[in-house]
Amino acid sequence: MLNNEKKNFIEFMMSADVLRFGEFKTKSGRLSPYFVNTGNYKTGSQIDTLGKYYAALVKETVGDRFDAMFGPAYKGIPLAAACAGALAREYGIDKPYFFNRKEVKDHGEGGSLIGYKPADGDNVIIIEDVITAGTAVRETVPVLKAAADVKLTDMFISVNRCEVGTTPGKTALMEVKEEFGITVHSIISVADIHEYLEGKPEYAAVLKLMDAYMEKYCIL
């Protein structure tokens, strides 16, 4: 259901050239008529606004019932930092955050994690941009489990693409829940984007492409 907040978020993403329409190859190898690239956020006000959207979703779903937030390299790094700042500023929820580097550092403190050092039993939430086929999650979980015996219960993303993962009939989000016990929360879904475009005649051609793509890959 497209409410005002979701509509505003879609327009915010479009104004930042983060939500784009055309032909794009996703990490899973699919040719998609739309793409979400959070790497295109580039100003202070944009990352501040984005952090508020993520923080509102975290507050609404898990509140302060977690120990730290993790942003997977690379796009998750500014997302986790922005979310942590907004949670503290907007809601008084001051929690640590950390992230990884893809190349292990062999000097200084070494290791691959930067920021908070997770401990056994910590409940860590993951802050990411998008899930298409769940590939990035399968790369992230081993990194966290290798650091400590952490609990991973919730993940927060900008857009739920509602796409089939590696198992026919199951979305990537269903697979992530079954494989890792992680519930994924999104600010908006592809259905919200589709509903938004339905009210814009200039996007009629894009809608036709989205219909075909969603029929092939999406489970709503």
Active site residues: 105, 107
C-beta of residue 113 within 8 angstroms of C-beta of residue 98: yes
In the three-class reduction of DSSP (H, G, I as helix; E, B as strand; rest coil), residue 188 is classed as strand
With 0-12 / 13-18 / 19 or more C-beta atoms within 10 angstroms meaning exposed / middle / buried, residue 91 is middle
C-beta of residue 185 within 8 angstroms of C-beta of residue 156: yes
Beta bridge partners of 1: none
Spacing of C-alpha 201 from chain mean position: 29
Give the count of beta carbons closer than 10 Å to the beta carbon of residue 167.
13
**Assign residue 2 a region: left if phi > 0, alpha if psi is -120 to 50, beta otherwise?**
beta
Do the bridges between strand 19-25 and strand 130-131 make them parallel or antiparallel, or are there none, so unpaired? unpaired
Which alpha helices (DSSP H) does the chain contain, by range? 4-15, 44-61, 76-91, 135-147, 172-180, 190-198, 204-217
Backbone angles phi, psi at 94, to 5 degrees: -100, 95
